[in-house]
Structure 1
Amino acid sequence: MPELPEVESLARFLTERAGGHTVAAVQVGAISALKTFAPPPDALVGKVVHDVRRHGKWLDLATEDGPHLVLHLARAGWLRWSEQLPTTPVRPGKSPLALRLRLDDGAGFDLTEAGTRKRLAIHVVDDPTQVELVSSLGVDPLGEEFTVDRLAELAAARNQQVKGLLRDQRQIAGIGNAYSDEILHAAHMSPFALSRSLTRDQLERLHAVVREVLTDALATSSGRPAAELKDAKRRGMRVHGRTGEACPVCGDVVREVSFADRSLQYCATCQTGGTPLADRRLSRLLR
């Protein structure tokens, strides 16, 4: 799933490439992905792209005096840019193509989603805050409001696993499964540590690492075309998605805990005092 660094890079790329151009055509290929009906998608046609912004893991293509195209790529969605899009009509069906947006110069992008579990979300709205999952987003971890004190408030609000705190979009917006693994590894912290148990020193370290990991990932992805962002993200991972490989810090094996629809990766030596976490959904949590 694209997370803050990749979505921010997509926003910057689209602002640079699409900004100032007029939307020439919008075609929907997957009705199920379109979550709104008014304004209709073709309300974007004839509008000039003013800016493309990021809200957490959401992309917001804003037009001048017109609607916003707000989208969430979910787990298997992606934005595929082309300097010359096909002009043939998009036919709804079993194709992975969910939406095509073409600009006045012939360039534009396809929104696609692989797999059978369709979670790609496309909204056409007058204001992005009309999307409830956007209006309810928590603090941006690269914004000025994300301070150690704010993190401490979130940690104290309810006693939860720190992995869950980092991934909860209503608390901290933009971090998903992959970067939460990377952050906790760099912070030498168990993913199952309870938030209210964290000391001030641990919170300060966690805050600094969140900023560092996301800033470094953004620097790596910045300026890359959309087609390269997924591979750049995978190459930058130190533990996430690297089960069975050697930890780059201590050399111990990277371990995994599997859940119903996802998994997490960690290093026992670096994060849990050498104790492996039980790999079952209802395992006892490390405190």
Structure 2
Amino acid sequence: MPELPEVEALADFLREHATGAVIGRVDVAALSVLKTFDPPITALSGRDVTGAARFGKHLGLDCDGLWLITHLSRAGWMRWQDNPSSTPPKPGKGPLALRVHFFTPEGLTPAFDLTEAGTKKRLAVWVVKDPSDVPGIARLGPDAMVATESEFAEVLAGTTARIKNALVDQSLLAGIGNAYSDEILHTAKLSPFANSSRLTAEQITTLYGTMRSVLTDAIARSVGQDAARLKGEKRSGMRVHARTGLPCPVCGDVVREVWFAERSFQYCATCQTGGKPLADRRMSRLLK
């Protein structure tokens, strides 16, 4: 799933490549992605693109008074095309969900595609007058790159959730997902199962600084990259996430995994839990 650094990079890419262009035709290949009907998606045609922004993990294109907002979810992505097909796509064929055509001041006609892999279709698109009209944006907590340390401490003090769950809860803190929460907790040497409200002041200071440094570094590596390369850039920067069975780059211990619901997370027992493996519900069920 694209998280704060990747969505920030995509917003930066759109600011550079789409701002100043006029929206042409909008092709909808999957009606299920549209979560609003008023204003209609056709209202975007003919509008100037005046900017792009990130709202947590939502990507927004400012179309001179209307916003095209998307949440890429777990398997969605944005692809830029310099020479898109002029033929409207056939609904339900392939991963394409939506295509937005542009006319640039230079006379070019690029487009961007919103695509989604897999069978579980969760990519969502809204056309709204104000980003806060999107329910997911309205519920966002303070942005992880904007929150002060005192705001961060207040967020953690107000929940008894495990720190792993607190970091990915968008209503508490916006922008962090499964991957970067793994990286932040590993760097901060904290157990994913630690109780958020019981962290010491020193641990909160360390965690806050680590969160900012991990995200800042990821943004620096991501911004300026071609949209097609962002996924690879994200994977290359990971130390524990999605590296189950590989050696921890800090201590050499094996990176372990815990499954819950439809997701998994990775951690290093030596660095984060005093050498004690965390309970894995999947393994517990197998052992019964």
Q: TM-score, normalised by structure 1?
A: 0.96
The match for 2:53 is 53
Alignment of 1:142-181 (within 5 A): 142-143=145-146, 146-181=147-182
The match for 1:212 is 213
The correspondence for 1:119, drawn from 122, 142, 150, is 122
RMSD: 1.1
Question: CA offsets, 1:179-211, max 9 Å, x none?
Answer: 000000000000000011100000000000000
Q: Secondary structure at the match of 1:99?
A: strand
The match for 1:108 is 111
Residue identity opposite 2:47 in structure 1:
K
Question: CA offsets, 1:229-262, max 9 Å, x none?
Answer: 0000000000000000000000000000012200
Residue identity opposite 2:145 in structure 1:
L
The match for 1:24 is 24
How far, CA to CA, are the matches of 2:92 and 2:149 in structure 1?
49
How far, CA to CA, are the matches of 1:282 and 1:60 in structure 2?
41
Q: Work out whether residues 253 and 270 of structure 2, in 8 Å CA contact, stay in contact via their aligned partners in 1.
A: yes
How far, CA to CA, are the matches of 1:36 and 1:217 in structure 2?
32
Residue identity opposite 1:185 in structure 2:
H
Q: Secondary structure at the match of 2:38?
A: coil
Give the 3 Å change call, closer, same or farther, for CA 47–108 of structure 1 in structure 2.
same
How far, CA to CA, are the matches of 2:56 and 2:217 in structure 1?
17
Question: CA offsets, 1:117-140, max 9 Å, x none?
Answer: 000000011111110111111111
How far, CA to CA, are the matches of 1:114 and 1:69 in structure 2?
21
The match for 1:10 is 10
The match for 1:133 is 136
Q: Secondary structure at the match of 1:23?
A: strand
Offset, 1:62: 0.5
The match for 1:43 is 43
Q: Secondary structure at the match of 2:246?
A: coil
How far, CA to CA, are the matches of 1:110 and 1:49 in structure 2?
16
Q: Secondary structure at the match of 1:49?
A: coil
Question: CA offsets, 1:130-185, max 9 Å, x none?
Answer: 10111111111111xx1221122111112110001100001110000000000000
Residue identity opposite 2:18 in structure 1:
A
How far, CA to CA, are the matches of 1:124 and 1:277 in structure 2?
43
Q: How many residue pairs are counted as aligned between the two chains?
A: 280
Q: Work out whether residues 159 and 166 of structure 2, in 8 Å CA contact, stay in contact via their aligned partners in 1.
A: no
Question: CA offsets, 1:23-57, max 9 Å, x none?
Answer: 01101000011111111111110000000000000
Residue identity opposite 1:162 in structure 2:
I
Offset, 1:106: 1.2
Residue identity opposite 2:101 in structure 1:
R
Give the 3 Å change call, closer, same or farther, for CA 36–282 of structure 1 in structure 2.
farther
Q: Work out whether residues 33 and 125 of structure 2, in 8 Å CA contact, stay in contact via their aligned partners in 1.
A: yes
Offset, 1:281: 5.9
Q: Secondary structure at the match of 1:36?
A: coil
Q: Which runs of 5+ in 1 are unaligned?
A: none
The match for 1:79 is 78
Offset, 1:95: 2.0
Offset, 1:282: 10
Offset, 1:93: 1.5
Q: Secondary structure at the match of 1:122?
A: strand
How far, CA to CA, are the matches of 2:69 and 2:206 in structure 1?
34
* Mean CA deviation greater in 15-24 or 94-103: 94-103
How far, CA to CA, are the matches of 1:87 and 1:94 in structure 2?
16
Q: Which runs of 5+ in 2 are unaligned?
A: none
The match for 2:195 is 194
